[in-house]
Amino acid sequence: MTTLDYPGELAAVVFCQGCPWRCRYCHNGHLLPARSAEAIPWCKVAGFLGRRSGLLDAVVFSGGEPTAQHALGAAMAEVRELGFKVGLHTAGCYPERLEKLIPQLHWVGLDIKGLPEDYPEITGVPDSGRQAWRSLEILLGGGVGLEVRTTVPPIWSPDYVESLAEQLVRMGVESFVVQTCITARALDPQWRHRASEPLGAAAQARLAARFARFSVRGT
């Protein structure tokens, strides 16, 4: 149960196994492989949610990368039938799949990990930036609630964050969250326990003036 993973709603979070990217700061390494011995069958998840119908407002599919699961659309449809709003946390790895899911969605938290050309340094995957920013375009035109969140890795300066934010403003993003990078369990050992340079009060004020909703999480 969470009040943070779907802003303004009391929600349950379903963590989906598997992700095609290997982000250097990822702290959920156990969710990266496509399969896990600890996976919970969907029938048990659905039963759990059914017993909470009327008690919770929403269900958020998180990960890993939920859109890597081909049964995600069917699971979302079942959740809607139970009376819940449907939220999604995604890195935008699969724009075409994401576009097909929009009719099922009420809200999306989209991770934008950097400017498109800088993605491979973070994800280890060529062309990953094009996929993520294409997903952003789709969501901005899809009529679904959207929050863009960016985790600030140790290699970034506050100036880079502001440059990224400026590009988001130009695209029409209204809700932007800057997240502190948690590096204690970072996938890349070279990044473990390295601190990101924090955004100062002046930079936060400039960003807050550019977006309808802006916040910093994890400080």
CA–CA separation, 2 vs 40, rounded Å?
19
Question: What is the pLDDT at residue 90?
Answer: 98
Tokens standing for 29?
Answer: 């390494």
Q: How do residues 72-90 score in pLDDT, each as one tens digit?
A: 999 999 999 999 999 999 9
**pLDDT beyond 80 at 219:** no
Amino acid identity, position 148: V
CA–CA separation, 108 vs 16, rounded Å?
15
C-alpha distances in Å from residue 172, one per residue of 11, 91, 105, 136, 175 = 27, 18, 20, 10, 9
Q: Confirm if 116 and 171 have CB atoms less than 8 A apart.
A: no
Q: Output helix, strand, coil percentages for the chain, rounded to the nearest 5.
A: 40, 20, 40
Query: What's the rounded mean pLDDT across residues 204-217?
Result: 96
Q: Confirm if 175 and 6 have CB atoms less than 8 A apart.
A: no
**pLDDT beyond 90 at 40:** yes
- The helix-helix angle for 42-50 and 72-81 (nearest 10°) equals 20
CA angle 24, 185, 93 (to 5 degrees): 40
Give me the torsion for CA of 192, 116, 160, 150, rounded to 10°: -60
Question: What is the pLDDT at residue 125?
Answer: 97
What is the percent of the chain where pLDDT is above 90? 83
Q: Confirm if 36 and 84 have CB atoms less than 8 A apart.
A: no
CATH architecture entry for 11-217: Alpha-Beta Barrel (3.20)
Q: How do residues 87-108 score in pLDDT, each as one tens digit?
A: 999 999 999 999 999 999 999 9
What is the percent of the chain where pLDDT is above 70? 100
